[in-house]
Structure 1
């Protein structure tokens, strides 16, 4: 987590060095793109069907997760409980790492947004 915080601090320094107009543009864009770790955790905790993946824009993971849970529920009596157990084993650690996962996502978004503002939309 310290490495992610250091990365965020470095990005924030670059943002601070931007001219006023570009800095305002950056914050306008960032506000729409940054994700909340608590929302991610709640979506993961209450809805292990993959909604937290959709929240971070990982549609393929979300679809696979939702399909696995749905198939597990439909076929619960046969082998579906095994599928649900596998999803839980994979997803539960993400609940406890939600702060780190979202921080990494937000750092990536911040870097992309900064490059977009600095170099134009072609980046």
Structure 2
């Protein structure tokens, strides 16, 4: 998804949030503040792309653990072609370094969608579905 599409999606989500009741807005913003990720923190972690720290930051723990394991194996076996593993993981992670702003924007839009859906599932709206 390109940056303009992400901005349009965010704008649509923000207009849906604006239509919430005051109580729902309060709940929404409390949840969003806990869940949304900071672009600067992600960017700094992404500069250490070989370690996979940026994956942990977004909750992709398995992906981060795989990156760390490959890096550790590469370092431990550097005498026996471990450098190949380090180069391969670097080549895999470099595109994410250049797309970090878009990746985080997409992540935060998903957080907004999920939080909005959760807030819209209030007990009063659930009672109407019974």
Fold shared, TM-score > 0.5 on shorter chain: yes
Aligned to 2:100: 98
Deviations 1:40-80 (A, max 9, x none): 12112135211100000101101111101110111011111
Aligned to 1:24: 26
Find the structure with the greater CA-based Rg: 2
What TM-score do the two structures reach when normalised by structure 2?
0.89
Identify unmatched segments of 5+ residues in structure 2: none
On the 8 A contact 2:49/2:94 being kept in 1, the answer is no
Q: Say if 2:82 is the partner of 1:80.
A: yes
Paired residue total: 122
Q: Say if 2:8 is the partner of 1:9.
A: no
Shift of 1:95: 1.2
Aligned 1:23-102 pairs, distance under 5 A: 23-46=25-48, 48-102=50-104
Aligned to 2:110: 108
Shift of 1:119: 1.0
Shift of 1:107: 0.6
RMSD: 1.5
Distance in 2 between residues matched to 1:37 and 1:75, nearest whole Å: 34
4+ long deviations beyond 6 Å: none
Distance in 1 between residues matched to 2:41 and 2:51, nearest whole Å: 15
Identify unmatched segments of 5+ residues in structure 1: none
